[in-house]
Amino acid sequence: MWRTLAAALLAGLIASPAAADAPPDPAALAAAVDGAIEHMIAPAYRSFAEAATTARTRIGALCAAPSADASAMARDGFAGAVIAFAAIEPFRFGPARRDNRFERLFFWPDRRSRGFRQVVDVIRTEDESAAAPATLEAKSVAVQGLPALDYVLAGRGSETLATAPVGFRCAYAKALGARIETVAQALSAEWSGPFAGVVRAAGPDNPIYRSHAEALQALLSAAREMLTVVADLKIRGVLGEGGERARPEAAPFAQSGLGLAETRANVEAVQALIEAMDLAKALPEDEPSLASEISFQIEQGASALRDAERIGGDWQGVADSAEARDRAAYAALALGYAADILRDRLPAALGMIAGFNSLDGD
């Protein structure tokens, strides 16, 4: 079934009309940028900051009075922070680049599990420099963020958090929660104020974006890169080809089993970004369906991931189910097609030059 749908998507790509030569409407591009910031990016950062505060508070409550219920509440708060982070994960440029903030929050992919081993060593040696926010900040980014907290709250030995008196693991969890909250609040402040102002004020005298076309291209590139990361790293990189070499343990948040839900939330975040831009108003008259085509293909990918999650639950369950793997494989195809449009056809239709890569910085 998914092969038939994939062929239909590809046919749509080939049959679509050529890009228009008309110059873009500057006002329409500015409106798309404003819509992205006001209706998606800034609210997503605020939500992440709030979720980080909730997670930090619940970890503190767990450490103050260990119990099974408090442990469940702490993990639930962590899950909320992970899903909220998924919505801001596409935006790796601007404030996220300063002081390695993105990596401090999300050190992944973890090549050869080097970061994972660092976290395990911190707990094994009870490294006191990781037990306080001020000294944790100076350590490797691999031991500071959400993947590290994933292991502390859900990895081997985490069951002791619900029963043992306050010890090193809890102190480390509290320090992680505080650091994540601090970074989240700093990012939210910049996207609600200074950096958002820079993006919105694109023009010849702007230090970063000399036109709203450049600002919009940065946002479109962020969307494209997120879809590419999902298709190539979070789906194919985890499931392999045909499931023979599946590595569910390589997925982000493998300890808590949140990786598939976080991946699905990544795609839904790109959906929300595209909707907030209202790109149909910026497109030329001979490309009226391009915006809806992008939305359709992203929704196909999101729907397929929701199916895989319903069937398999997490990446391990998907790897064990042929039906779930089939749905995830289709999601990767659909999202790859959407990324191709965002890389080539959409910038051309809008009269912009493709090629900005936020993974290389701004």
pLDDT at 242: 62
Tell me if 200 is assigned to some domain: no
Q: Which domain holds residue 116?
A: 42-191
Q: What is the pLDDT along the chain (362 residues), one digit of tens a residue?
A: 444 444 444 444 434 444 445 567 899 999 999 999 999 999 999 999 999 999 999 999 999 999 999 999 999 999 999 999 999 999 999 999 999 999 999 999 998 899 999 999 999 999 999 999 999 999 999 999 999 999 999 999 999 999 877 799 999 999 999 999 999 999 999 999 999 999 999 999 999 999 999 999 999 999 999 999 999 999 999 999 765 689 999 999 999 999 999 999 999 999 999 999 999 999 988 776 899 999 999 999 999 999 999 999 999 999 999 999 999 999 999 999 999 999 999 998 988 865 445 444 44
pLDDT of residue 20: 44
Dig out the tokens for 266 from the structure.
Answer: 């990544």
What is the DSSP secondary structure assignment for residue 181, as one 8-state letter? H
pLDDT of residue 354: 54
Query: Residue 55 belongs to a domain with what CATH number?
Result: 1.20.1420.20
Provide the 3-class DSSP secondary structure of residue 16: coil
Q: Distances in Å between the alpha carbon of 100 and those of 95, 140, 220, 327, 350?
A: 9, 11, 22, 35, 32
Considering the domain boundaries, does residue 198 fall inside one?
A: no
> Does one domain contain both 178 and 57?
yes
If asked whether residues 9 and 59 sit together in one domain, one would say: no
Distance CA 89, CA 262 (A): 10
Which residues make Cβ contacts (< 8 Å) with residue 123, sequence separation at least 6?
151, 152, 157, 168, 169, 172
| In a domain? residue 36 | yes
Q: How far is CA 81 from CA 18, 108, 158, 180, 344, in A?
A: 42, 16, 18, 9, 33
Q: Which two tokens stand for residue 91?
A: 């935006």
The count of domains in the chain is 2
For residue 26, how many other CB atoms are within 10 A of its CB?
Answer: 14
The verdict on 53 and 162 lying in the same domain is: yes
Say yes or no: 99 and 163 in one domain.
Answer: yes
- Establish if 197 belongs to a structural domain: no
pLDDT at residue 3, rounded to an integer: 46
Report pLDDT for 165.
73
Query: Which pLDDT value is given to residue 1?
Result: 45
Residue in 78, 10, 48 with CA at minimum distance from that of residue 269: 48
The CA-atom distances, in angstroms, between 166 and each of 15, 47, 76, 130, 171 are: 63, 30, 20, 15, 7
Measured in whole angstroms, the distance separating CA 301 from the mean position of its chain's CA atoms is 15
By C-alpha distance, which of 352, 345, 213 is closest to 287?
345
Looking at the fold, whether 21 and 59 belong to one and the same domain comes out as no
* Residue that terminates a domain, selected from 134, 160, 191: 191
Residues 232 and 286 in one domain: yes
User: What SS3 state is found at 233?
Assistant: helix
> 64 lies in a domain?
yes
CA distances from 105 to 131, 156, 330, 343 (A): 17, 21, 29, 27
Task: Identify the domain boundary among 191, 221, 239.
Answer: 191
Q: Which residue spans within the chain are E strands per DSSP?
A: none
**The predicted structure's pLDDT at residue 204:** 96
What region, left, alpha or beta, does residue 169 occupy, with left being phi > 0 and alpha being psi -120 to 50 degrees?
alpha
Geometric angle at alpha carbon 30, from 224 and 38, rounded to 5°: 75
Contact 343, 13 (CB under 8 A): no
Whether 73 maps to a domain, the answer reads: yes
Q: Tell which of 159, 191, 223 closes a domain.
A: 191
Residue 183 belongs to a domain: yes
**152/111 Cα distance (integer angstroms):** 20
Give φ, ψ of 169 to 5 degrees.
-60, -40
* Residues 187 and 274 reside in one and the same domain: no
Residues 65 and 13 occupy one common structural domain: no
Cβ–Cβ < 8 Å for 223, 276:
no
Map tokens 């790509």 to a residue: 13
**Residue 205 lies inside a defined structural domain of this protein:** no
Same domain, 55 and 110: yes
User: Angle 23-28-32 (CA atoms, 0-180°, nearest 5)?
Assistant: 120
111 and 36, same domain (yes or no): no
Same domain, 36 and 53: no
Report the alpha-carbon distance of residue 259 to residue 89 in Å, rounded.
13
Q: SS3 of 188, please?
A: helix
Q: Are 318 and 294 in contact (CB under 8 A)?
A: no
d(CA 350, CA 271): 19
In this predicted structure, what is the pLDDT of residue 287? 78
Whether residues 32 and 157 share a domain: the answer is no
